Amino acid sequence: MEAVTFENVKFIYREDDPAYAVNGVSLSIGEGQFVAVLGRNGSGKSTLAKLINALLTPTEGKVTVFGMDTADAKQTFEIRKSAGMVFQNPDNQTVASIVEDDVAFGPENIGVPREEIGKRIDFALDAVGMQAFRHSTPSRLSGGQKQRIAIAGVLAIMPKIMILDESTAMLDPKGRREVMDVIKKLNKDRGMTVILITHFMEEALEADRAIVMHRGEVVMDAAPEEVFSRSEELEAYNLTLPRAAYISKKLAEGGMPVKGAFNAEELAEEICASLQKI
Amino acid sequence: MRIVAKDLTYTYNPKSPFASQALKGVDIVIEEGEFFGIIGHTGSGKSTFVQHLNALIKLTGGSLTVGDYDLSDKKCKFLELRSKVGMVFQYPEYQLFAETVEKDVMFGLKNFHKGMAEEEMKAAVKEAIGRVDLDYEDVKDKSPFELSGGQRRRVAIAGVIVTRPEILILDEPAAGLDPLGKKEIMQLLHAIHGSWCKTVVIVSHDMDEIAENCTRAAVFSEGKVVMEDTPAEIFKRSDELISLGLDIPVTAKCARVMKERGIEIDTDFTCDDFIAKTLALWKGQGGGNAQ
C-alpha cells in the first residue's frame, strides 16, 4: 500500500486569499521512500507537509495516509500515529525538563502502558544515539542534540512516516550532519518513510526522490540527480544548484569535458580526469 | 571606527559550579571598511565576543576599543556606542513585536534619539525600509506577522540600521532562508556596506558565504582566535580547519582532492575564481585545442 497519496489536492488558508497555497497536487509516496521536498519560501512545502498528518485538511481533493482519508475526523488519531512531524526550531519542541520525560510525552498521550513506554524510550534514544543523555536537561544540549531528541519523541510513537519540516535549518554544520545521519539510518535500517522539506540542495541529494514545488504546484518530481541536471528549470523556480553542480556546469560551458558533479569529490574527480586526458 | 580587542577574557556564571570560560584571551583588530567574517563552531566564543562590541556584555577582562570608545572605561557613553554599533541577532524576525512595520522599525530610533521630531523619525524609517528593498507604502501599515519569512528578516534589519550604525554586526544573517533569499540578504549587506555603514561583521557557519563575501575573517576555537586572515589564506589551511571540526568551502574540498592527485590550483576559493583558474589550468595544458 502507498504510504501517502494526494489526489488533485487544493488548499486555501482563507476564503479571500487570492491564490491556493497548494494547487492541484497529485502524487503518491511508496512505503520506505526517502523524499526531499524543495521550493522557495511560500511555495507550499509546509502546507503540503501539514496536509499529510491532518494538521490541515484539503479544501478540495483527497489525501490518504495508508489508505486512511485525512478528512475523516475519526481517522485523525490513527493518521497522526502513523505520520510524525519534526519542526524547525528545536527550542519549540521540548515539553519536559528531562530528556526521557520529553521522549515519553508522546506515548503517554496516546495511552501506551507504562512498561511499554520505558521500552520505547530506550528504542527511540538508541535510534538517535542519545541514550547517554537520557537524564540530561534538554536546555543544556546543543541544537543538533535537541533536534535528535525531538526526533526521538516522534519515534516513540512508532510512526511509519517521518515528516521533517526544515528540521536542520537552525543547526550548525555538525548538528545538521548528526540529524541527517539519523534520518538516513531510520530510512535504511527500519524502512521508515521519510519526507524531508529542506532549503539545502546538498541534503536533497541524499534522498531517493526530489519534489520541487512552485506556487502551490508540484513542478518537478524525479531522482535528485535528474532534478539538478535540469538547471534552467530550477532557476525558473528560483532554486539554485548545489555548489559543486554549479561549478561543473560552468566548467562545461567553458569547454572543459566535465560531466555533472554533485559533490566536491565528484567534481575533483571530473576535473582531474579532464586535466590528465590532455 | 576601528575595533581593537586585546587579551579579552570572559567567564559565564563566575564563582559558581557552572562557571565556564567563554573567552580565553582574544586578540583581534577589525579595520574600518572591512566586511569581516567570524567563524567557529558552537561554543567557540564567537557570540560572546560580538556581544562585547556594543557592550551587551560588559568587559570583565582585557581591553576593547571601538573607535574612540574605550569599553573598559566606566564613563564610556554606552548609549551612544550602541546607536553606532548595530547588532542583528540570529533569527531577528522573532524579535518583531509592534503592530505595524513602521512602528517596529521606529522603536530603536525612539529609544536612541528621544528628542527627535516625529516627521524626522518617519523619514528615517522610510529610508531604512527602502534600504532593505521593501516597498515602504506597501508594508508600513501591515503587521510584521503578515509578511513572509524573508521579508520579516528585512524588517528586523531595518529596525537596526534605522539609527545608521557605522558598524553593523550580524549573527548568521542568512540562516534558514532559501538559496535565493540568502543571496538577496548578502547583496543587501554589501549595498549597506557602501554607505554610512562602514564596517560589517558577520558570524557564519557557512564557509562558502565567508569565502564569497568577506575581506578578512577570524577563526574562533575554544575561546581564542586561532586564525585571522583573508578567506583565501584561511582556506589554504583546510587541514587545520577540519581538525578544529569546521567545515570548508566546496571549492576548498575540491582543491584538497586535486592536490592529493598532484594538481595544485592557486585560488581565493570563491566560485568564480575557482572556475576561472580551473579553466585557465586546462587551457594552459592545451585543453580545448586538441580536437
For residues B24 and B88, state if they share a domain. Answer: yes
> Does the pLDDT at position A70 exceed 70?
yes
Average pLDDT of the residues in B244-272: 93
For residues B254 and B141, state if they share a domain. Answer: no
CATH code, domain carrying B32: 3.40.50.300
The fraction of chain A above a pLDDT of 90, given in percent, is 74
Cβ proximity of B88 and B96 under 8 Å: no
CB contact under 8 A, B178 and A265: no
Is the sign of the CA dihedral B145, B151, B154, B159 positive or negative?
negative
The position carrying cell 512505503 is A31
For residues B188 and B105, state if they share a domain. Answer: yes
| Residue of A255, A231, A232, A235 lying closest to A244 (CA atoms) | A231
Most confidently predicted of A63-77, A259-273, B71-85, B171-185: A63-77
Residue A91: predicted pLDDT: 84
Burial class (CB within 10 angstroms; exposed 0-12, middle 13-18, buried 19+) of A174: middle
Would you tell me the crossing angle of helices A243-253 and B250-260 to the nearest 10 degrees? 70
Residue A278: predicted pLDDT: 67
Interchain contact B247–A (C-beta under 8 A)? yes
DSSP string, B147-182: S-HHHHHHHHHHHHHTT--SEEEEESTTTTS-HHHH
Residue A30: predicted pLDDT: 96
CB contact under 8 A, A278 and B148: no
Which residues in B lie closer than 8 A to residue A142 (C-beta atoms)?
Answer: 42-43
Residue B113: predicted pLDDT: 87
> Does the pLDDT at position A88 exceed 50?
yes
Interchain contact A252–B (C-beta under 8 A)? no
Which residues in A lie closer than 8 A to residue B287 (C-beta atoms)?
Answer: 255-256, 274-275, 278
For residues B209 and B277, state if they share a domain. Answer: no
Residue B41: predicted pLDDT: 83
pLDDT band for position B291 (cuts 50, 70, 90): very low
For residues B255 and B172, state if they share a domain. Answer: no
Residue A61: predicted pLDDT: 97
> Does the pLDDT at position B245 exceed 90?
no
For residues B243 and B159, state if they share a domain. Answer: yes
What totals of helices (H) and strands (E) does chain A contain, helices first? 11, 10
| Residue of A213, A203, A211 lying closest to A183 (CA atoms) | A203
What region, left, alpha or beta, does residue B55 occupy, with left being phi > 0 and alpha being psi -120 to 50 degrees?
left
The fraction of chain B above a pLDDT of 90, given in percent, is 76
Which domain covers residue B165, as residue numbers? 3-247
What is the tens place of the pLDDT at every residue in A219-248? 999 999 999 999 999 999 989 899 999 999
One-letter amino acid identity for A76? T
Residue A276: predicted pLDDT: 81
pLDDT band for position A102 (cuts 50, 70, 90): very high
Tell me how close the Cα of B95 comes to any Cα of chain A, in angstroms.
Answer: 15
What is the tens place of the pLDDT at every residue in A151-197? 999 999 999 999 999 998 888 888 888 889 999 999 999 999 999 99
CATH class of A2-241: alpha beta
Pairing of strands A68-69, A60-65: antiparallel
pLDDT band for position B178 (cuts 50, 70, 90): confident
What is the number of domains present in chain B?
2
Interchain contact B279–A (C-beta under 8 A)? yes
For residues B83 and B192, state if they share a domain. Answer: yes
> Does the pLDDT at position A134 exceed 70?
yes
CB contact under 8 A, A40 and B178: yes
pLDDT band for position A266 (cuts 50, 70, 90): very high
For residues B184 and B287, state if they share a domain. Answer: no
Which residue on chain B is closest to A42 by alpha carbon?
B148
For residues B62 and B203, state if they share a domain. Answer: yes
Taking the domains of chain A in order of start, what are their residue ranges?
Answer: 2-241
Instruction: Give the residue with greater pLDDT, B217 vs A169.
Output: B217
What is the tens place of the pLDDT at every residue in B28-54? 999 999 999 999 988 889 989 999 999
Residue A64: predicted pLDDT: 97
Cβ proximity of B166 and B2 under 8 Å: no
Q: And the C-alpha cell for B271?
A: 566560485
Which residues in B lie closer than 8 A to residue A264 (C-beta atoms)?
Answer: 250, 253-254, 257
Cβ proximity of A273 and B261 under 8 Å: no
CA atoms within 13 A on the CB side of A182: 29
Interchain contact A271–B (C-beta under 8 A)? yes
CB contact under 8 A, A256 and B281: no
For residues B146 and B225, state if they share a domain. Answer: yes
Residue B290: predicted pLDDT: 52
For residues B255 and B241, state if they share a domain. Answer: no
For residues B180 and B197, state if they share a domain. Answer: yes
CB contact under 8 A, B279 and A238: no
